[in-house]
Amino acid sequence: MVNFVCLFGLSLILFFLGGWLIPITDPTECCYTLTAKEMLAEGDWLSPRIYGDFWFDKPIMFYWELLLAYKIFGVGDFASRFFPAVFATGGIFLTYFFGAKLYNRKIGFVAAVMLATSLEFWYLSHAVITDMTLLFAFSLTLITFFLGYRSNNPKLYFWSFAASGVAVLTKGPIGFLLPGLIILIFLAWQGDLKHLRKLFVVRNVLTFVVIVALWYLPMTILHGSEFVENFLGVHNFLRATVSEYAKTDVWYYYALISAIGFLPWSIPLIPAAVVKFFRRAELFIEEGRLPVFDVHEKFLIVWALTVVIFFQLCATKYVTYTLPAMPPAMIFLARYFSNRWKLFLSMAGATLIIFPLALFTVALPLAEDNSGKRTAEIISPLVDEKTCVVSHGRKYSGSLVFYSGAKIFRLETKKDYETLRPQALTWSSKNVMPFMTFDELPSDKKILAVVAVDAEKDFFDNAAGNWELVGTVSKGNLENFAEEFFLGKTSEQKLKCKIYKREQIKFDDKN
């Protein structure tokens, strides 16, 4: 009971604290929140939609979570971040439970605390994205499988297939294929591939199919080939074969991400792992013996490494992709810290101080700098039915649309529009926001233009008429924010964007 109370208190401090303060950010969080907001407005809990059009980026599970939170708490920052924090809490309790089952409650507790206080997990517990929900369903799939395998209780496989169905509703086919690959490799290492026959029985397969069909079947019937091509083609096949961000497609990407994401625990672990590696290498040279792993170690190793290697082989790489590798890794590594109790307590205690401070002094200003919330506060009172709102700059702010509720056109030159416009089976297909070129700016409406400072010259080179500056938004600055937060000082900040207004052009003005 003490362990449960401690873990729950840890969750409140690390995952829920400040969730109502952090604004929705661009470019990712806004896609989920804006989609859920539009679905709620339309009363449609089946077909995701954004900017007034259907949107097949992700399956339905995370949108259902957002819709439920919006119904309970209202549309806002806390509601948006509520379920990621809930599933982060669920993730550490699953880790505790599984660690206790494999070894003992002390190791389970250490593993759960390590997971909760690791940098990547803490960050993603606040992020409005699908990954925490996937981690929970993914972990439940593999935990129920292994406990069923270890105890020779095939009834647990039912829950494994059910959880995998939820994972597929959360992230797509990877929610079945990757856990399946992990189980396949583990059984092959065990020399027990025949055990697959106990997994794929009618009841288990039918359960999985029914859960998946709850959403995929009606979507296929309603939207046909458009849904299949966009969901499977762009957001699954293209993601695996064509890098969205070429600079991250390097062989060491996830090794680096793991070292950073496991902070602060990777600080003592990396040198300890290097020492142990050379000791085992020396033993192998002297005695010719490879290390021997028990069944628990085999499963944890296969689970963690398969996730990392699989996504390393995919073309598109994101920081969040290897999150499902963290629970088994933490259980495996918890044995090291369970024998170094003072070191464990001091590191865990330090994170309980550092992470909440970092939330207010680092995460909050960074989120504000990558959000359109402050811009929305300026433009919302200026928008009416006779106003056309446009945005010009390198980045389009979906969060500005989320907070303002206005239809905002992405303003581009004809040349840039041809490059950016959505095209099938390319990454530009994600550019589903409404576009407008400079020559299409209406003369019979008032125009509000949100212009990034670094695109201001390009804007005035292409936009005709007389423009009046009606507002500015400054960039977030960690140093200035810290001075203001701790010392009450306020200093001048660099501008992020400017808001210009142009009144309706009269006939005489055109000449």
The token pair that represents 211 in the structure block: 């859960």
Is residue 125 within 8 A of residue 88, CB to CB? The reply is yes
Dist CA 499 CA 88 (whole Å): 39
What kind and span of H or E run contains 113?
Answer: helix 105-116
Amino acid 414: pLDDT:
93
Is residue 164 within 8 A of residue 141, CB to CB? The reply is yes
Domain boundaries, the chain: 2-366, 372-510
Is residue 283 within 8 A of residue 289, CB to CB? The reply is yes
Dist CA 26 CA 461 (whole Å): 27
Amino acid 510: pLDDT:
47
Low-confidence ranges of the chain (pLDDT < 70): 233-246, 274-290, 424-428, 476-493, 506-511
Reduced to 3 states, what is the DSSP secondary structure of residue 474? strand
pLDDT in tens, 93-146: 999 999 999 999 999 999 999 999 999 999 999 999 999 999 999 999 999 999
**Cβ atoms within 10 Å of 101's Cβ, excluding its own:** 17
Amino acid 494: pLDDT:
79
Amino acid 422: pLDDT:
80
Amino acid 229: pLDDT:
79
In degrees, rounded to 5, the angle at the alpha carbon of residue 349 between the alpha carbons of residues 347 and 353 is 115
Name the nearest CA neighbour of 124 among 62, 51, 197. 62
The strand ranges marked E within 283-412 are 387-392, 408-412
First to last CA, the chain: 80
ω into residue 381 within 30 of 0, thus cis?
A: no
Phi, psi of 58 (to 5 degrees): -135, 160
Dist CA 260 CA 273 (whole Å): 16
**Cβ atoms within 10 Å of 81's Cβ, excluding its own:** 25
Residues sharing a CB contact under 8 Å with residue 220, sequence separation 6 or more, in sequence order: 227, 228
Phi, psi of 128 (to 5 degrees): -85, 75
Amino acid 511: pLDDT:
43
The token pair that represents 404 in the structure block: 């303002």
Residues sharing a CB contact under 8 Å with residue 201, sequence separation 6 or more, in sequence order: 154, 157
